[in-house]
Structure 1
Amino acid sequence: MIILTNQLAQNIVDKMMNVIPYNVNIMNNEGIIIGSGDKNRIGQLHQGAVKAIIEDRLIAIHEISGGAKPGVNMPIYLNNNIMGVIGISGDPMIVEAFASIVKVTAELLINQEYAFNEKRVRERMKEEFLYQWTYNENSDANFIRMAEVLHIDLNLKRTAVIINSNGKDIKDKLNKFLHVDEYILRINLNKVLIIMKSNINLQKRILNIYDTLENVSKIGVGSDEDILSKSVQQALRAIEIVEKLGIDRAICNYGDLAFIDSITNTLDKEKFYSLINKLKDEGKGLDLIDTLIAYIIHNGETTTVANELHIHRNSLNYRLNKIKNITGKNPRNLVDLLEIFSACILYKLN
């Protein structure tokens, strides 16, 4: 249950005294004055409030007694529980006419504050849950129970989508693209995670996000995984691969890049590093590694590759021959090209 704080009590008092010409006091559920038009009375015990709490009814006071001045005192409630007492100072025969409106208004303000706090607490719980869902692979009993409290269906198939953006209000803008049972979480200054439902419309929706919003540089899309954290890591890795290899692609689907990622986890790194070291040591100033990557990304189309690298086709041919002479691997041979490209991947992604 919400606590009737001094700040909330004083806010209510100030609002009431803007509309009625009498002093207003608010006492907590122990009868202590915690808000008043007369600041000198704050902290005093109000016997009329104590009596109103005990008897659970309006109490009229006609003479000064026990820290109480003439007026009326009414219990105020939240969810049928007494939160405190609101009092109006003055002749009870006169101020009682204001009693009902003051009581209703005070309870309305308390209910609004309670609803706001409850929403804030629930949002904080939800954000903490989303962080756990994003980074933890194990779903224990507490995690499942929290999902039930937040009405999050863990059985729905979902895909992690990472939005790379430097827009300060990108999270608010992304909310309009969410469907029911989808969630959004900022994971750092430049990345926002959307937990989206997996269906045949997913790619179309992602393309719509990219086409509609400004300041979106890359979108990483994980695979449809039973464990969401795996999909999140895939979406992040997809963006990393595209950026490190210089691939000209805005929407980065991990499924399209999984083979490249697997190379970094399965090959004998030391064997392939020797090829890279030769290219670095003997091909200084020629950017042979970037030449290889561009060559395979553009399917060996020499004109396109030369344009991409801003060099003449003859210069490109010179570089390819240089690669062959240094490594003993011919980039124009598919088997050799696969081997030296794998070496470049290991170099760029590790």
Structure 2
Amino acid sequence: MLDKVLAGKFMERVRNYTDYNVNIMDEKGIIIASKDEERVGSFHEVAYRILQGEGDEISVSEKDEFLGVKEGVNIAIVENRKRIGVIGITGKAREIKPIALVMKMAVETMLEYEHYKEDMARRRNEKEKFMGFLLYGGYRDRDELYQLAKRLNYEKNVMRIPILADVQTAEKTELYKIEEQLLAGIKRSPLHGSRDISFIPGEGMVLIFKAVGCGVKEMPGRYRDEIRAYVESFADDVRKKGICCRYFVGSVQNCLDSYQVGYRHCQWLKDRAADNSEILFFYDFVDEYVSSLIPATELHGMFQAFCSALDDETKETLVELTGALDRNDYNLVKSSQDLFIHKNTLVFRLNKIREQLNVNPVQKTREREFLKYLCRYLKSR
């Protein structure tokens, strides 16, 4: 449930940083906070539709007629994978959508932090506090974090790799019991040592910061084999208990106050990577990760002219072909098989694209990169 007081505090901060009119609606579609205070308490029809499952985002134009709604963008506020409210910004959708997405992220982050503080008030033991520091920051200085690590007997400068074990089940009842069983199974592994840090962040997940066993110089070439062997050492055991998981391996970290970065990479991998493998490594998706950080406005500025110059059929063909070629390292035979077309058909379509855009992605790496980001923009449209 979206708290009215919390929404009001957020709106107080918003007033200091933007002139856009921002509204926050609760689970019933009622505006509970707004820069335009006269709208507080009124019904917002589009927010209600979003909360009833009509979509995560609805843009409204001047021509649309909805009860209590102005032109703008409205996006669902999600907590624990459930829509609990909506944030809306008044204005032209194309201009304000990036701002609306940032506002959504800010509200969800604030909610996550507020719930975390409430949890900390209930459970004050040092392991919980240490987990919060590692995942979300919040420590006043580095010494505070290191002193807590010392009391818990965790060496501060050990090279560790975060592994996020995500339970694959749609059943959410008694999920905390599954998490506990999973963590117990992990700790029973002969490869789980005293230098490994493990705990439950919630939502059907267990997080391990696995200490690297090989030396620093050997780590780049050996860490994948170590992680696979580690996961295999307990995966069968937990599967026998009916617990199926996927494992998301984040970036290597050698400093405690950077562990939250590795955890963030695990989360990104879980939410974004289009791969169904049991174990996924963040470093296999660096290009996708870096691309995801590019603001939508930047891509729009780079490619909107190309978008307007291409017809819909060409856009669709371009996205489809480029995606298949990229997945198959630009191997024409494998790409044609991926698309269920003959190789000659693929070559014919590539030649049409080459003639229209004057690019040759098969032979020229720079033009390959150009097409990749152009297609990323086209897909976002």
| TM-score, normalised with respect to structure 2 | 0.49
Q: State how far apart, in whole Å, the 2-side matches of 1:277 and 1:129 are.
A: 49
Change (3 A) 1:289 1:154: same
Change (3 A) 1:216 1:130: same
Q: State how far apart, in whole Å, the 1-side matches of 2:149 and 2:226 are.
A: 26
Counterpart AA for 1:299: D
Match of 1:261 in 2: 289
Counterpart AA for 1:296: D
Q: State how far apart, in whole Å, the 2-side matches of 1:192 and 1:261 are.
A: 22
Alignment of 1:1-350 (within 5 A): 124-136=125-137, 139-166=141-168, 168=178, 169-177=181-189, 178-200=192-214, 202-211=223-232, 212-213=235-236, 214=239, 215-226=244-255, 227-243=258-274, 247=275, 250-265=278-293, 268-274=298-304, 277=307, 281-283=311-313, 286=316, 288-325=318-355, 327-334=357-364, 335-345=366-376
Counterpart AA for 1:148: K
Change (3 A) 1:239 1:278: farther
8 Å CA contact 1:182, 1:195 repeated in 2: yes
Give the secondary-structure state (helix, strand or coil) at the position aligned to 2:330.
Answer: coil
Shift, 1:158, TM fit: 1.6
Q: State how far apart, in whole Å, the 2-side matches of 1:137 and 1:328 are.
A: 51
Q: Of the two, which has the highest radius of gyration?
A: 1
Q: State how far apart, in whole Å, the 2-side matches of 1:199 and 1:300 are.
A: 37
Alpha-carbon displacement from aligned partner over 1:306-329 (angstroms, at most 9, x marks no partner): 222333334433443444355443
Change (3 A) 1:347 1:217: farther
| TM-score, normalised with respect to structure 1 | 0.53
Q: State how far apart, in whole Å, the 2-side matches of 1:175 and 1:347 are.
A: 46
8 Å CA contact 1:275, 1:343 repeated in 2: no
Considering only aligned residues, what root-mean-square deviation do their CA atoms show, in Å?
3.7
Change (3 A) 1:312 1:279: farther
Q: Matched residue pairs, number?
A: 227
8 Å CA contact 1:222, 1:233 repeated in 2: no
Give the secondary-structure state (helix, strand or coil) at the position aligned to 1:187.
Answer: coil
Q: State how far apart, in whole Å, the 2-side matches of 1:157 and 1:145 are.
A: 18
Alpha-carbon displacement from aligned partner over 1:180-203 (angstroms, at most 9, x marks no partner): 121223334354321111343642
8 Å CA contact 2:157, 2:254 repeated in 1: no
Percent of matched pairs sharing the same residue: 14
8 Å CA contact 2:160, 2:212 repeated in 1: yes
Change (3 A) 1:162 1:344: farther
8 Å CA contact 1:130, 1:185 repeated in 2: yes
Shift, 1:290, TM fit: 3.8
Any stretches of 5+ residues in structure 1 without a counterpart?
A: 1-120
Change (3 A) 1:198 1:208: closer
8 Å CA contact 2:162, 2:263 repeated in 1: yes
Change (3 A) 1:180 1:296: same
Change (3 A) 1:249 1:185: same
8 Å CA contact 1:162, 1:193 repeated in 2: yes
Change (3 A) 1:217 1:347: farther
Match of 1:37 in 2: none
Q: State how far apart, in whole Å, the 1-side matches of 2:265 and 2:127 are.
A: 23
Any stretches of 5+ residues in structure 2 without a counterpart?
A: 1-121, 170-177, 215-221
Shift, 1:231, TM fit: 1.6
8 Å CA contact 1:160, 1:195 repeated in 2: yes
8 Å CA contact 2:248, 2:282 repeated in 1: no
Q: State how far apart, in whole Å, the 2-side matches of 1:257 and 1:287 are.
A: 24
